[in-house]
Amino acid sequence: MSDKELIQEAIKAREMSYSPYSDYKVGAALLCKSGEVFRGCNIESATYSPTNCAERTAFFKAISEGEREFETIAIIGGKDNETTDEKTYFYPCGVCRQVMTEFCGGDFRIITAKSEDDFIVSTLAELMPHSIVPKK
């Protein structure tokens, strides 16, 4: 699957965002080494703290279906009125980066997209230096 196709999956995932409190709609699409793609959206709560980010939703869906090896994640998001024309690349939060570190090596690819044609590719090693790595 191309980066552009993965971003298209993230755009579809974002349509499912449940974000009445922040108005940020975020979508993620996680490409597993098996070739399967898992979509995730952010899911908020009236008590705020149970909020789950789009990236972790995608990871937890994949892990709970038995996937353990991951290639790339595409992320797209923004404020409600900017969802068709993002103004910023939406990078994963620290908690999501730690979850990625649990399951991915430093070469795991993270695509932050404004659109399917405008995106940046980073590696987990770049976004999570000096990380606490899992016990293997």
Question: Between residues 34 and 51, which has the closer beta carbon with respect to ligand THU?
Answer: 51
Q: How far apart are CA 112 and CA 67, in angstroms?
A: 22
Q: How far apart are CA 114 and CA 118, in angstroms?
A: 6
Binding site for ligand THU (CB under 6 A): 19, 22, 24, 26, 42, 44, 51, 53-55, 92-93, 96
Residue 95 CB neighbour total at 10 angstroms? 12
Annotation says 65 is catalytic: no
Question: Between residues 14 and 37, which has the closer beta carbon with respect to ligand THU?
Answer: 14
Taking the complex as a whole, the smallest distance from the CB of residue 77 to ligand THU amounts, in Å, to 6
H or E segment and range at residue 79: strand 70-79
Which residues form the catalytic set? 55
